[in-house]
A and B are shown apart, each in its own frame.
Chain A
Amino acid sequence: MFLIVAIVLIISMILVLLRLYFGPTLYDRVLASNVFGTQTVLFIGVVGFLSGRPDFLDIALLYALINFVGTIAVLKFFRYRSIGDIPVHNQESE
């Protein structure tokens, strides 16, 4: 039964990956990678249940943390052209 759930999750991950490939703008791609990350978290949880190993949920929780930080880092980089460690005062940032 959990196998069906895992297969459905894989199918939806592939769909989102297609959007990541076709996405015209950068923000489509960032959005698609964010949704892909969330689906990966769910997939890890389901596989944890499928294989009867409860410690997969720690990996899922960790992946949720990293996915969020990664999305914000990419956005921040393309917004200010730097992650913010070196104070770059370019003209277009108000």
Chain B
Amino acid sequence: MALDMFYDILSWCLIGLGCFFVLIGALGVLKLPEFWSRLHAASVVESAGMILLISGLCIQSGLSLITVKLILLIVFLFLTGPTATHAVASAALVSGMKPKSDLKEPQDSL
């Protein structure tokens, strides 16, 4: 009896943390001043928020087909999330949006 109560608490903690990170990431995407810092906030949502939230759902659903689908979802989002963010960053860089660095003259031009 205590075991599934423990699972329940654990899954709700994970889901709560996941929600927290998704909210913080979304707030960061909105509030951060510049594209490159927004990039960081976006990857907070894609990695921390997503993994915590879905692993919380996994524990909530126990060992069943739902958990298999959720794990598949985690693996896929974990692969494509950072890749998409990287693609956006490199596309922005190629198109000439340079991050403002405080160095007077950049040593290596990308």
Q: Is the CB of A12 within 8 A of B26?
A: yes
29 A–B contact pairs at CB < 8 A?
Answer: A5-B15, A12-B25, A12-B26, A12-B27, A12-B45, A15-B30, A25-B97, A27-B92, A27-B97, A28-B35, A31-B42, A31-B85, A31-B88, A32-B42, A34-B42, A34-B85, A35-B26, A38-B46, A38-B77, A41-B50, A41-B77, A45-B54, A46-B57, A49-B57, A57-B66, A64-B73, A71-B88, A72-B84, A79-B95
Q: How far is the CB of B65 from chain A (nearest CB, A)?
A: 7
Q: Is the CB of A19 within 8 A of B30?
A: yes
Contacts of B70 in A (CB 8 A): 45, 57
Main secondary structure of the interface of B (DSSP, over half): helix
A residues lining the B interface (CB < 8 Å): 1, 5, 8-9, 11-13, 15-16, 18-19, 25, 27-28, 30-32, 34-35, 38-39, 41-42, 45-46, 49, 54, 57-58, 60-61, 64-65, 67-68, 71-72, 75, 78-79
State the interface size on chain B (CB cutoff 8 A): 44
B10 is an interface residue with CB less than 8 A from chain A: no
Contacts of B57 in A (CB 8 A): 45-46, 49
Q: Is the CB of B45 within 8 A of A15?
A: no
Known contacts A45-B73, A49-B60; 6 additional CB pairs below 8 A are A25-B35, A35-B25, A39-B26, A45-B54, A60-B73, A79-B91
Contacts of B65 in A (CB 8 A): 54
Q: Is the CB of B29 within 8 A of A19?
A: yes
Contact with A along B95-106 (1 / 0, CB 8 A): 101000000000
Q: Is the CB of B77 within 8 A of A27?
A: no
Contacts of A46 in B (CB 8 A): 53, 57
**With A27-B97, A42-B49, A57-B66 known to touch, is A9 a contact of B35 (CB < 8 Å)?**
no
